Every structure is written in structure tokens, then in C-alpha cells.
């Protein structure tokens, strides 16, 4: 299933770092950023998470939460969050149900070998629970800035 801008965001409830739980229901009525990343504590994912962490003060002023999602189990997610001082929730989608609902659990290929994995994708969901913007196959440099710019247009 592939989502388009304007579609309703698929429902989710996931365990997250810091003993938290994140769910679509608790975010109703306010915009939020939901981003999917392949694996905790890898160079690209670290760079992306740290960029969102740096943007948190501005996002906080706008009242826009950020949630990072990976297939990792909670233990590596907690270590990743602690190691880099990530204050926003990092959620575990170990069964990939949320990734599948958002269309980011895809076939990938490396060195000719095909496998299933998370495609680095960011969703900006508006206060009505609709997808306002999608960034597929995210290039990390400048991405947090692009998301901030899109927020200005909400």
C-alpha cells in the first residue's frame, strides 16, 4: 500500500524510548513528524536523529513532536537514544506492521542480494490526521531543515 499526501495517517501504537508509548490517538489534533529509519546507531541514522534533536527547540515552540521509528527492538533503541542524548521518542516497530501500513517496508538490494528493509522516509502529519507531506528515500543532509520549512506552510 502506498500513501499519498492528503491520505489519513494509518493508526499506530508503539513502545518508545524512555518507557514511553506513542500512538496516533494521543497525537490527534496537532501536527507531528513521523520518520522511519533503517537501524539504530548506524552513521546515517545517527546523523538524521541528531539533526532532528538539534531542531527540537524550534519544533517545541511550534508544538510539533518528532517520532523516529525503526524495526529495532527496544534495547538497542534505548542505547541509541542514551548514547546521543535523543530526547524525542524513538519507537520500535519490531513486527513492521506500522512500516507496512505507511508503505516503507520495501524490497531493497545490496550487492545483488535482495532483502526487505525500512526505506528512510519522513511523514509530516497535520492536525487533522492527514499526511501533509512525504519525503521518500530521504537524503540526510538538509533534511531536518526541509521538514522545518514545510511546517511553516501548515
User: What residue segments make up the domains of the chain, in order of their start?
Assistant: 13-152
Alpha-carbon distance 115 to 109, whole Å? Answer: 6
Q: Which H helix or E strand runs over 48? A: helix 43-62
107 beta partners: 116
Alpha-carbon distance 115 to 51, whole Å? Answer: 28
pLDDT tens series, the chain, 154 aa: 589 999 999 999 999 999 999 999 999 899 999 999 999 999 999 999 999 999 999 998 888 999 999 999 999 999 999 999 999 999 999 999 999 999 999 999 989 999 999 999 999 999 999 999 999 999 989 988 899 889 887 7
Q: Which of 16, 24, 27, 45 is catalytic?
A: 45
Burial class (CB in 10 A: 0-12, 13-18, 19+), 54: exposed
Q: Give the pLDDT confidence of 100-139 residue by residue, as tens digits.
A: 999 999 999 989 999 999 999 999 999 999 999 999 999 9
pLDDT value of residue 60 = 87
The DSSP output letter for 59 is H
Alpha-carbon distance 14 to 71, whole Å? Answer: 11
Q: Hey, is 32 helix, strand or coil?
A: strand
pTM for the structure as a whole? 0.94
Kindly report the CATH class assigned to 13-152: alpha beta
Alpha-carbon distance 39 to 117, whole Å? Answer: 9
The answer to whether residue 50 is catalytic is no
Amino acid at each position: 500500500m502506498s500513501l499519498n499526501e492528503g491520505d489519513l495517517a494509518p493508526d499506530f501504537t508503539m513502545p518508545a524510548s524512555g518507557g514511553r508509548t506513542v500512538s496516533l490517538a494521543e497525537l490527534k489534533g496537532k501536527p507531528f513528524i513521523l520518520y522511519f529509519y533503517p537501524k539504530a546507531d548506524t552513521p546515517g541514522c545517527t546523523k538524521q536523529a541528531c539533526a532532528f534533536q538539534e531542531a527540537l527547540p524550534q519544533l517545541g515552540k511550534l508544538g510539533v513532536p518528532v517520532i523516529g521509528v525503526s524495526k529495532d527492538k527496544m534495547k538497542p533503541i534505548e542505547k541509541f537514544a542514551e548514547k546521543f542524548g535523543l530526547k524525542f521518542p524513538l519507537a520500535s516497530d519490531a513486527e513492521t506492521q506500522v512500516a507496512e501500513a505507511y508503505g516503507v517496508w520495501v524490497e531493497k538490494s545490496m550487492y545483488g542480494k535482495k532483502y526487505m528493509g525500512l526505506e528512510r522516509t519522513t511523514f509530516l502529519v497535520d492536525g487533522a490526521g492527514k499526511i501533509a507531506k512525504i519525503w521518500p528515500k530521504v537524503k540526510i543532509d538538509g533534511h531536518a531543515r526541509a521538514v522545518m520549512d514545510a511546517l511553516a506552510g501548515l
